[in-house]
Structure 1
Amino acid sequence: MKLIQSINPWTGEVTKEFKFLTFQEMDFKIDLASKSFENWKSTSILERARLMKRAGKILRKNKEEYARIISLEMGKILRESRSEIEKCVLACDYYAENAEKFLSAEKNQPS
């Protein structure tokens, strides 16, 4: 059985192994993603913003765990990985707070 390995570039240690998907498993996941998109595209901007805020809260709550994973997978020191998580939290908050404005209709002005 073929495996995909996640290797810590700093130590060369295999941190996790993943099996290749069968064609049937891949078709199922693609179908699931397609159905999810059909539901997502009708989700309101306010609900999407709420979910982005929630994603930021989850990132912050699990920062140490996620930072450890980032460090293992990328060979970064923990301080850098924590900073990456904080940057993602800021992005979640920023887009949640500005989504409605960014996605509002604009009138084209003649040039």
Structure 2
Amino acid sequence: MKGKRCFLVLVYLFWLVALGLCAGLTSFLSEVNEGNYVMTFLELSEYDAGIVVGTWYLSIFVFGYGILNYIRLQVISRVAVKQATKIFNKYEEDLKQSRVKQGDGQ
């Protein structure tokens, strides 16, 4: 359950960063073009629109596949060792208790 919550927080942070970048681009355009900067932001040439779309999909791929997959692997590798140790210790304890019940060893 904690892993899902962590993943959702990361996704929301990604969208906040994306919205922040859009706001930053809008403010940059307002400094460059004092007139109608919103229309400058919305009316892109075909080449500029291709760059924006390519950058957007590349950022989704890099963040979604690269970074989130790396974080997922790190979390799993940390949790797996602790869980395996816990299972092994429980198995040894159960084995010792079964031997004591049978009278084989103490």
Task: Give the TM-score taking structure 2 as reference length.
Answer: 0.29
Structure with higher strand content: 1
More contact order relative to length (CA 8 Å, sep ≥ 6) = 1
Report the structure number with the largest CA radius of gyration.
2
